[in-house]
Amino acid sequence: MKLSGQLFIFTIEGQRFGLDLEVVQRIERAAEITKVPESPALISGIIDYHGKIVPVFDLRKKLKLPDKELSAEMRFLLIRTESKHLIIVADVVEGVINVPAEVIMPGTEIDKDLIQAAIVRLADGVIFIYDVEKFLSAEEETELKKVLGNYKRQSPSP
């Protein structure tokens, strides 16, 4: 994963995380999530965002952090890459920072399911940068596409 040098920073359970700014499409106030039966465990559900069904990825669960009930203070991060359109729920949005190349260290594998793209060491702490493309395994991607395809067919037309 190539970083643009600008990172979008957010926190979950007080831990700082970052995504390349280029993949963050929009930030919205958290809203009700519709549960979808038989969806992968890492998908909290879906939302209808301007007529598009978008899955909500549970980064808390992926990182083995405690569950937390959705609140109005939380934010939805709408993420779009060439192959993915999803939402991540953040406790707090910190904003965008410019990151000089010399403070970016290559990521390390923290478990078999999630790979850090990079680690940024700043005076005020460490930020873990993740590659959105690697959030779901190939099996989870296939399962999600199947479930979302079934859901779209069952949904009433506007």
Mean pLDDT comparison of 34-38, 50-54, 62-66, 73-77, highest-scoring range: 73-77
Q: What pLDDT does residue 157 have?
A: 46
Q: Work out the average pLDDT over 28-44.
A: 87
Q: What pLDDT does residue 4 have?
A: 64
Q: Tell which wins on pLDDT, 87 or 117.
A: 87
Distance of alpha carbon 87 from the chain centroid: 6
CB atoms within 10 A of CB 46: 23
Q: Are 117 and 130 in contact (CB under 8 A)?
A: yes
Q: What pLDDT does residue 102 have?
A: 79
Range in 13-27, 36-50, 74-88, 141-155 the model is least confident about: 141-155
Q: What are the tens digits of pLDDT across the range 95-131?
A: 999 988 778 887 765 545 556 677 888 888 888 888 8
Q: What pLDDT does residue 47 have?
A: 92
Residues near 150 by beta carbon (within 8 Å), at least 6 away in sequence: none
Is 6-154 a CATH 1.10.3720.10 domain?
no
Whether the pLDDT of residue 91 is over 60: the answer is yes
Q: Roughly how many angstroms between the first and final C-alpha of the chain, as a whole number?
A: 39
Whether the pLDDT of residue 155 is over 60: the answer is no
Q: What are the tens digits of pLDDT across the range 4-31?
A: 678 999 999 999 999 989 999 999 999 9
